[in-house]
Structure 1
Amino acid sequence: MTGPDPSVARIRSAVRPALTASDQPVLVACSGGADSLALAAGIAFEAPRAGVPAGAVTVDHGLQAGSDERAEATATLLRNLGLAPVTVVRVEVARLGGPEAAARTARYDALRTAAAEHGARVALGHTLDDQAETVLLGLGRGSGPRSVAGMVAERPPFWRPLLGIRRATTSTACAALELPVWDDPWNDDPAYTRVRLRTEALPLLEEVLGGGVAPALARTAGLLREDLDLLDGLARAALEELAGDRGLPARETAALPAALRRRVLRDWLRAAAVPDLQAVHLAAVDALLTDWRGQGRVDLPGGAGVVRTSGTLTLVPAQHGGGPPATPDLEEPDP
């Protein structure tokens, strides 16, 4: 008796460990493309064997003609795979930040809502190739080490079991299972940066460096993520030790190594619900510690501010209706 195609077996092997480790229900986010469809088929096969309820969600962004029909066809296909419940969620995409970023925001908001409604985690079909593209985007934009560290396999409610699987494998798996794949025309549109990375930059790097670039980028992201997780843990411990009712003691905080100090400041401000915190804001607050010349208040998004008085950094809360408007961080990678 012959087993499944090797590509199908690899997808199933990728999803099996996490399914057997938890009985939490799963919803597969599926667009009908090869990556998410191969993931859906793998989970549909493995979830019943693990005793885990598994359904799916397909999001209709309404940005292309016939998108509603496409979403319903994908939902029917997912039901035929044995997933239940399967729902189509229609979203309204805002215009802020361009269609790609706005569609992503609307999609993730819908998926988070679905996860909360069903008490489920959401399985996403991001592959090793997507990870490599994300790392290159982070490098090119100078978005900081966390961006270069790429996507994580587990960040509730999201689960990405295919980060070690190549895109070619998901396509082969769909062909072996005779699943009809929908090729989104946006995935071939050179107007989008990620498409040009996929079709131009990465192939050129593969040629120049002799191959293996995508796995190398993904491997680098994983190594960097380990270091960042350690630093973030040390920063949380330092903040717990330093933070008081009045704020942060300037001398003790300034004495921390730069990598820890900036993380302490970031966590302190985020704990105070300062929105859309960016590197420029952290640098200005850090200067109150490392380049103190009697400067005044540092303004932050949402209207709050930080001042240094009597050797202490103190957060000045936002006044109702005051302060500059918050600017969405459209460079942040997917959750």
Structure 2
Amino acid sequence: MTGPAPSVAAVRLAVRRCLTEAALPPNAVVLVAVSGGADSLALASAVAFEAPGLGLRAGSITVDHQLQSGSAAVAHHAAAQCADLGLQPALVERVDVADTRDGPEAAARAARYAALAAAANRSGAEAVLLGHTRDDQAETVLLGLARGSGARAVTGMSADSRATPEGLRLLRPLLGITRAQTHEACAALDLQPWHDPHNDDPRYLRVRVRRALAELESEIGPGVTAGLARTAALVRQDCDELDRQAAAAAYVLGEPPWQVAEFTALAPALRSRVWRAVLTTAGSPGGDLGKVHVDAVDALLTAWRGQGPIDIPGGLRVRRQHGVIEVLPRQVQ
């Protein structure tokens, strides 16, 4: 008796490890986010195979963004394949993608995650599993490097995270699995993945990043994708430790006002993280608090020339006066 194809076995093992490490309660419900592509279909098959043995119930959720002709048929075909695999419920959620200044990719992502959170809430799911692969991780790291977004952006996607603002738990079992392996798994299992034409459209930033990564692999040699994904894991360890130290330092500083000397004594790598921690605690929305704001308030410590208060998101103002740093409502002078 022969076992499953190597690609199928690899995907199943990755799912088993992820679900075991997630330590979900007995009989918990999980949903697989399935677009119909090879990555998510291979994931769906593996979850359907592994979940029962781990005492879990598994369903699927397919989001129809309505951005292409025939999208409803694609979504329902994906859901039908999930149902055939034994995933119940096999949900389809239709969303309207708003036209925002952040562009179509960001708008579609926001609509998708809101739909995933709503479906998880209705079905009582403990987590949603996503089909991001090692290739997706490498692309995310390359984009973070190109943007100069800092160390945290280079950590890529987490295997276990919370989506904001929904608070939805997201699991990504396939971050160590290649895109080629998911295609091989689908072929071995006679699954019918859908090829999204948007994946070939250079108007989308992710497509251009994918092409750039392929060019790097061609010019530098194989291993670039694996190296970028490995870098993400290594940098994540360092960032997590710095964040832990920053949280401890912020706790010691306590509530504002803060002594300039105490704040300045912190190492720069810690101080930027402490600024973010103390300012979000004071009421500045984390999603709106950017590097430009952190740099500006840090200059009150490191480049003090008697400058005035710094306005930050959340209707707040940071001021240096008489050797202390204060956080005040913006209307206070």
Shorter-chain TM-score above 0.5: yes
Give per-residue Cα distances to partners, 1:262-317, cap 9 Å, x unaligned. Answer: 10000111223312111100000101111122211111124322112332222223
CA distance in 2, matches of 1:31, 1:247: 50
| Matched residue type, 1:76 | A
Alignment of 1:114-153 (within 5 A): 114-117=119-122, 118-153=124-159
CA distance in 2, matches of 1:169, 1:307: 55
Partner of residue 29, structure 2: 25
Query: 5+ unaligned residues in a row in structure 1: which ranges?
Result: 323-335
Partner of 1:120, secondary structure, is strand
Over 3 Å off, 4+ runs: none
Partner of residue 278, structure 2: 268
CA distance in 1, matches of 2:301, 2:119: 44
Match of 1:308 among 316, 320, 331: 320
| Matched residue type, 2:178 | R
Alignment of 1:142-291 (within 5 A): 142-156=148-162, 157-199=169-211, 201-244=212-255, 246-275=256-285, 276-291=288-303
CA distance in 2, matches of 1:204, 1:137: 14
Alignment of 1:40-55 (within 5 A): 40-55=44-59
CA distance in 2, matches of 1:249, 1:68: 59
| Matched residue type, 1:243 | G
Instruction: Indicate yes or no: 2:87 matched with 1:76.
Output: no
Q: Against the structure 1 CA distance between its residues 114 and 316, is the aligned structure 2 distance closer, same or farther, given a 3 Å change threshold?
A: farther
Partner of residue 63, structure 2: 59
TM-align CA RMSD: 1.6
Alignment of 1:92-111 (within 5 A): 92-96=96-100, 97-111=102-116
Q: Against the structure 1 CA distance between its residues 114 and 248, is the aligned structure 2 distance closer, same or farther, given a 3 Å change threshold?
A: farther
CA distance in 2, matches of 1:228, 1:317: 31
CA distance in 2, matches of 1:225, 1:262: 17
Give per-residue Cα distances to partners, 1:15-37, cap 9 Å, x unaligned. Answer: 00232343342110110000011
Q: Identify the range of structure 1 (261-270 vs 246-255) with the bigger mean alpha-carbon deviation.
A: 246-255
Partner of residue 7, structure 2: 7
Partner of 1:183, secondary structure, is coil
After TM superposition, give the deviation of residue 318 of structure 1 in Å.
5.3
Contact residue 36 and residue 124 of structure 1 kept, 8 A? yes
| Matched residue type, 1:216 | G
Partner of residue 333, structure 1: none
Report how many residues are paired.
Answer: 318
Partner of 1:87, secondary structure, is strand
Partner of residue 165, structure 2: none
Instruction: Indicate yes or no: 2:314 matched with 1:296.
Output: no
| Matched residue type, 1:132 | A
CA distance in 1, matches of 2:93, 2:259: 49
Instruction: Indicate yes or no: 2:117 matched with 1:112.
Output: yes
Partner of 2:82, secondary structure, is helix
CA distance in 1, matches of 2:316, 2:227: 42
Contact residue 19 and residue 52 of structure 1 kept, 8 A? no
Contact residue 243 and residue 249 of structure 1 kept, 8 A? no
Give per-residue Cα distances to partners, 1:29-53, cap 9 Å, x unaligned. Answer: 1100000110000000000111101
| Matched residue type, 1:65 | S
Query: 5+ unaligned residues in a row in structure 2: which ranges?
Result: 163-168
CA distance in 2, matches of 1:115, 1:270: 28
CA distance in 2, matches of 1:311, 1:122: 49
Contact residue 122 and residue 159 of structure 1 kept, 8 A? yes
| Matched residue type, 2:194 | W
After TM superposition, give the deviation of residue 80 of structure 1 in Å.
1.2
Contact residue 259 and residue 325 of structure 2 kept, 8 A? yes
